Chain A
Amino acid sequence: MPEFIHLPAVGDVVTSAKIKKWYKNEGDKVKKDELICEINTSKLVVELESPASGELYKIFAPVEAEVEVGKVIGIVQLEGEELSDDFISGIKNRYISVYYEREVEKTASETHNRKAVEKKKIKASPVAKVLAKEKGIPIEEITGTGPNGRITKDDVLNYLEKEEEVKKESTDNKTIIKLEGTRKIIAERLRESSNTKPHINMLAEVSMDAVIQFRAEMNKRIKETITLNSFIMYTVVKALLKHPNVNANLIGDEIHLFKNINLGMAVGRREKGLIVPVIKNADKLSLTGLNQEIKKLSELALKEKLEIDHITGGTFTVSNLGMFGIKTFNAIINPPEVAILAVGAIIEKPTFINDEVKKSNMMNINLAVDHSVIDGDVASECVMTMKEILENPSLLLC
């Protein structure tokens, strides 16, 4: 039997991904685990490896095709095998990529149903089509100015000229960078979140004196160094266990509440773009286990070695900008999650303790929730639980 190349599962909510690039052509020899295809999903460009050695016999999902998770995007014919067209057509209906199925469905519905939705036809002159293809311009992006809105050669040339102008401007006094790859995905997701989720922010000031002392004592007695961030993350896990409504996803009109906690941590990578690796089942980890996991995922993120599984399936995210000295900030929820905790810097401040002014290490925690799903009282209770734990670290044992 030949080996099928499947579109890998990319988490609970990602249902499809786009083919970005095929490294091999049909008919090319491939080796097992050799890089064969690149897909664009969720937040990452993911590389797929060949499932077997042989020949890349057929590509079902061409570049740009949007494919449903689990579908077959190609077939590797093993050495000594002779795949027939009958074999291919035999498996088509059941296994092949969504792209292909859509084509089949469309043809079928056009044949059987006169009311079939009219396929959008782009009017363009032959030379305009050829030129656009040569220059790699998606023809649907060009506005036709010819008779009946036909895209003419001039329209393509004008489009190119405008692109050139943009490029030229960048050499003058500014640089224009097109949104693409990770940046584009970040932009789309945050826009979506900002536009569709009514954010409310619950800000609390926390004294970190106790946890700092607690941490110092602990680090003296164990081999590894537990970071303050790990304490905060651990605190979040404990708080979420108490407030399960905050540990959720909003998918369509459904709130999905999770028994486990998959804790996302925002990692800034400068020009490479923000990424949120997810600590799976963080609620099952000890403080040291969590500390190790955070370290591992941060390193993978910075080295751009994260895999699909590392960045999907999050149920809550923490974004910590304390190291930059930021006092507090309003974070944007990472969809489909419904809440995010923004952690600020620890700043020494005079505080009243028993009517006396004392120096304390204060930190702001700012919980943003999707108000369409979570009410203010629930969010307040959750953030106050976090404050309580941090100010009384022995509660971490509960």
Chain B
Amino acid sequence: MSQRSTISGWGGHSVEGCEIRAENLSAAANGAALSRGLGRSYGDSSLPPDDCPIALNTTLADRILEFDQATGRLRAEAGLSLADMNRLLMPRGWFTPVSPGTQYVTLGGMVAADIHGKNQHLAGNFGHHVTKLRMQVADGRILECDSEQHADLFFGTIGGMGLTGHILEVECALERIPSPWIWQETQRIPNIDEFQVALEEAAPQWPYTVGWIDCVSRGSALGRGILMCGRWATADEAPKRVPPRRLRPRLTFDFPGWALGPWTVRAFNELYFRKQWRPTLRGIVHPESFFYPLDVLREWHRMYGTRGFTQYQCVLPHTDESGARKTGSARRVLDVLTTLGGASFLAVIKDFGQNGVGVLSFPRPGITLALDIPIRANTQALIDALNQVVIEEGGRIYLAKDSFTRRRDFERMDSRVHDFNALRDTWDPQRRFRSAQSVRLLGDLPRTNQADLGGHP
């Protein structure tokens, strides 16, 4: 039973299609082009292709199947949300080894995007901590895979954007925490070049680091911002109570298009920078305000109005091919952004310390920038220009954010796409698993013969 309607990515990009919701994923999977969790990927990676507009929504498959309080090993169905995990397990001293910037994601989504967090320099991506997956692959078989058994499928699925099969169950290792509170230190940083240095200096001292940058300011103040460093508070430092549940109002309407014009963006960025009224502030903070500042306003993406927005996230290597140190790469990206007027309400900077384990994982050692860009007439040109810089710098983009990159640009920045497609030739030669994004970027053909779609074993 399914109803045709609209399915949207978090940025507002949408397609006509329907979602099947069921507790039993493998029984409901028939005919779905891909699985989809809470729909927090910004672009079109969780949207089904036009010719097979059915997505399997995993959020009702959210049972915890095993949790070992002594070792932190967790096995759960793919639709379990991080919010649920945090609510249940944080008070017991366990936290996800890697957390993205929102807790409204599912375990399956965390694997598919091989998400990273504020501790990427230390802990790597979520995929580094995944020990086993249960999958339903294209021929209908249900398989367990890990780094030894069906290893190619395992590493293809981590960061594989759901294109290798339906992820049914995830087994991973959680991290022991001394308290559920965070000790945070924030520091004002005068410009983008200093930011890169400050992040590198903070990396060995802090498990969690991230920077917010003001990308409206130009010249010598380009990329000024606030560096946030954190670690888990020790049992002595932390308040004795469990962090209280926070109110999360919902944004129930779309802002009008002018609301996020250049002036409001400038004012917000100025205020946010001034909020840090001393060069350094430190103290205990609520874990949600540290990890999930944007979750405070549910459906905050509606601020961008009906036209929506896109997020652009790239990583730029620290060194060139010969191993020589590079400088100024982040500045080049911000220069293009400010020159082309892509006022970004929110911009985040973070250093990456290691590659992901997945065939198509996004992170690699370098500096990453994530920019929110409201959709305007020139957005395509802006993304093309940003991609040129990324190609020249030897970097790449994050598929979970993208909806504008052109296929030829993607192939120039990420040659691993050929390895990934070769792996799909093994597991899914008929390309049953596709997304709107894979048709756009990975060369999947929109299937014209609808008869092909039947006969799923």
Partners in one complex: no
Binding site for A on B (CB under 8 A): none
